[in-house]
């Protein structure tokens, strides 16, 4: 077993002096929130992704809520999504009193299976909410054909995929509504934060109102006057956070290049081990690689996942598991009748998955340390 040398988490932000300087400038300004940095960050995001509009939110979850709201999700509607995601993708459907309907994933990419989507469509289906798992874009053309045939809206939960590309196009300009997250472990960070990107002006205006209590200003009645025309929330992102996001976005090319370098080393390091299954990157996709999950053939290894997990932790390698499939959470079983066995591919993946450390500031020495530790534990 390698001697413990490092303390590595599965993900970590990279904050530089330029980020600190950008935040300090805002702290010294007159605008800590609802100021010019918000629109500046939104424009930079939209321009980077090739979308017409971006609206930033206080979290990726809030952004999902906003997206489902503006597409009109309500009681009686169904939204098809993947069980292999952080629960917020489905939770935000429930916030709108709609019903999440799960479709199983493809074993080689862990993204939602277009054929399974087709099987889940009913007259109640309103939208398809796809998730770019680990950063790899879904088979968008196949999903778009399904959506077009059934007159459905596509929501892309790209919380893992800022900077990813599908057929040379940036994620963010493809779906009807695309969601990003800026949590510290994501590809750029604002501390907490999220965004919705769209090309539809009507949705853009509604998103801005939704994140600000539903307030609509009526200047003709007086500069102070406003009305609440629909129920909204305080889902605003501050200028402080937007300044950090702007600074981080300038470095995203470097961040993603480094993520891809690390994944290449991992793929080479684990590629010849028959008891390990790697995610395959599709020919049409360039993943930004938010996370790096391995699947272990535990029967072949004669060791439990918990033992692997704990032995890695003893070596300072703090891993994670992404994710317990959403349909296995008690809330979804109690309220929607889901049960174990409903989505076998997602469940099988979960039972044998461990997410290894992956973040741009990782050194080659740290990457090699992780590879050697994993190999030693399973040998």
pLDDT in tens, 89-103: 999 999 999 999 999
- DSSP class of residue 123 equals T
pLDDT in tens, 282-337: 999 999 999 999 999 999 998 999 999 999 999 999 999 999 999 999 999 999 99
CB atoms within 10 A of CB 269: 17
Query: Rounded to an integer, what distance in angstroms lies between the CA atom of residue 310 and that of residue 132?
Result: 28
Pick the closest to residue 69 from 172, 168, 190, 211 (CA basis). Answer: 211
C-alpha distances in angstroms, 374 versus 12, 56, 280, 290? Answer: 20, 39, 20, 20
What pLDDT shows up at residue 4? 65
What pLDDT shows up at residue 219? 79
Query: Rounded to an integer, what distance in angstroms lies between the CA atom of residue 258 and that of residue 252?
Result: 10
In the chain, which residue ranges form alpha helices assigned H by DSSP?
A: 17-27, 36-49, 60-70, 88-95, 114-120, 140-150, 201-210, 239-249, 252-270, 298-301, 305-314, 330-336, 344-352, 364-378
What pLDDT shows up at residue 221? 79
Contact 177, 196 (CB under 8 A): yes
Pick the closest to residue 89 from 221, 178, 208, 215 (CA basis). Answer: 178
What pLDDT shows up at residue 25? 99
What pLDDT shows up at residue 223? 85
Q: Nearest 10 degrees: CA dihedral of 337, 340, 345, 348?
A: 150
Which band of pLDDT confidence, cut at 50, 70 and 90, is reported for residue 2? Answer: low
Which band of pLDDT confidence, cut at 50, 70 and 90, is reported for residue 181? Answer: very high
Report the share of the chain in percent with pLDDT over 70: 99
Contacts of 73-77 with C-beta under 8 Å, sequence gap 24+, read: 73/97, 73/98, 73/126, 73/127, 74/98, 76/124, 77/124, 77/125, 77/126, 77/127
Q: Where in the chain is the domain with CATH 3.40.640.10?
A: 17-249
The residues near 210 (Cβ < 8 Å, ≥ 6 apart) are 66, 69, 70, 230, 232, 233, 235
SS3 131: strand
C-alpha distances in angstroms, 312 versus 71, 280, 316, 373? Answer: 44, 24, 7, 7
Assigned CATH class of 17-249: alpha beta
C-alpha distances in angstroms, 150 versus 23, 67, 110, 118? Answer: 46, 20, 24, 9
pLDDT in tens, 127-148: 999 999 999 999 999 999 999 9
Contact 176, 154 (CB under 8 A): yes
Pick the closest to residue 189 from 236, 140, 248 (CA basis). Answer: 248
In angstroms, the first-to-last Cα distance of the chain is 10
CATH level 3 topology of 252-378: 3.90.1150
Looking at the chain, how many residues does it have? 379
Query: Rounded to an integer, what distance in angstroms lies between the CA atom of residue 190 and that of residue 328?
Result: 31
Q: Where in the chain is the domain with CATH 3.90.1150.10?
A: 252-378
Query: Rounded to an integer, what distance in angstroms lies between the CA atom of residue 368 and that of residue 363?
Result: 9
Question: For strand 285-286 and strand 153-157, is the pairing parallel, antiparallel, or unpaired?
Answer: unpaired
Cis peptide before 323 (omega within 30 of 0): yes
- DSSP class of residue 61 equals H
Q: Which residue is it, tokens 């080659």? A: 364
Average pLDDT, the chain: 97
Query: Rounded to an integer, what distance in angstroms lies between the CA atom of residue 306 and that of residue 354?
Result: 10
pTM of whole model > 0.85?
A: yes
Residue 378 has pLDDT above 90, yes or no: yes
CB atoms within 10 A of CB 362: 21
Which band of pLDDT confidence, cut at 50, 70 and 90, is reported for residue 168? Answer: very high
The residues near 169 (Cβ < 8 Å, ≥ 6 apart) are 50
């Amino acid at each position: 077993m390698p001697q413990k040398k490092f303390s590595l988490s599965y993900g970590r932000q990279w904050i530089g002096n330029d980020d600190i300087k950008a935040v300090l400038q805002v702290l010294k300004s007159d605008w800590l929130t609802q100021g010019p940095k918000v629109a500046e960050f939104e424009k930079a995001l939209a321009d980077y992704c090739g979308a017409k509009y971006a609206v930033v939110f206080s979290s990726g979850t809030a952004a999902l809520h906003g997206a489902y709201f503006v597409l009109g999700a309500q009681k009686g509607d169904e939204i098809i999504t993947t069980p292999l995601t952080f629960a917020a993708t489905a939770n935000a459907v429930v916030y709108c009193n709609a019903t999440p309907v799960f479709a199983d994933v493809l074993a080689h990419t862990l993204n939602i299976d277009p054929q399974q989507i087709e099987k889940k469509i009913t007259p109640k289906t309103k939208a398809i909410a796809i998730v770019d798992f680990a950063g790899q874009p879904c088979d968008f053309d196949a999903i778009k054909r399904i959506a077009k045939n059934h007159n459905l809206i596509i929501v892309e939960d790209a919380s893992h995929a800022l900077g990813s590309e599908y057929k040379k196009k940036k994620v963010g300009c493809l779906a009807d509504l695309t969601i990003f997250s800026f949590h510290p472990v994501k590809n750029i960070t604002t501390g907490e934060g999220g965004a919705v990107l769209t090309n539809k002006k009507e949705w853009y205006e509604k998103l801005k109102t939704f994140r600000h209590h539903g307030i609509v200003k009526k200047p003709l009645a007086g500069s102070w006057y406003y009305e609440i025309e629909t129920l909204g929330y305080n889902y605003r992102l501050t200028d402080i956070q937007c300044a950090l996001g702007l600074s981080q976005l300038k470095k995203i090319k470097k961040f993603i290049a480094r993520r891809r370098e690390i994944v290449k080393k991992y793929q080479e390091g684990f590629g010849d081990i028959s008891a390990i299954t790697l995610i395959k990157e599709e020919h049409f996709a360039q993943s930004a690689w938010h996370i790096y999950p391995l699947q272990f053939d535990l029967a072949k290894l004669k060791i439990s996942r918990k033992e692997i997990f704990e032995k890695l932790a003893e070596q300072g390698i703090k891993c994670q598991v992404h994710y317990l499939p959403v349909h296995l959470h008690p809330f979804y079983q109690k309220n929607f009748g889901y049960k174990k066995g409903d989505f076998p591919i997602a469940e099988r993946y979960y039972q044998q998955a461990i997410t290894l450390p992956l973040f741009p500031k990782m050194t080659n020495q740290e990457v090699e340390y992780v590879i050697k530790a994993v190999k030693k534990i399973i040998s």
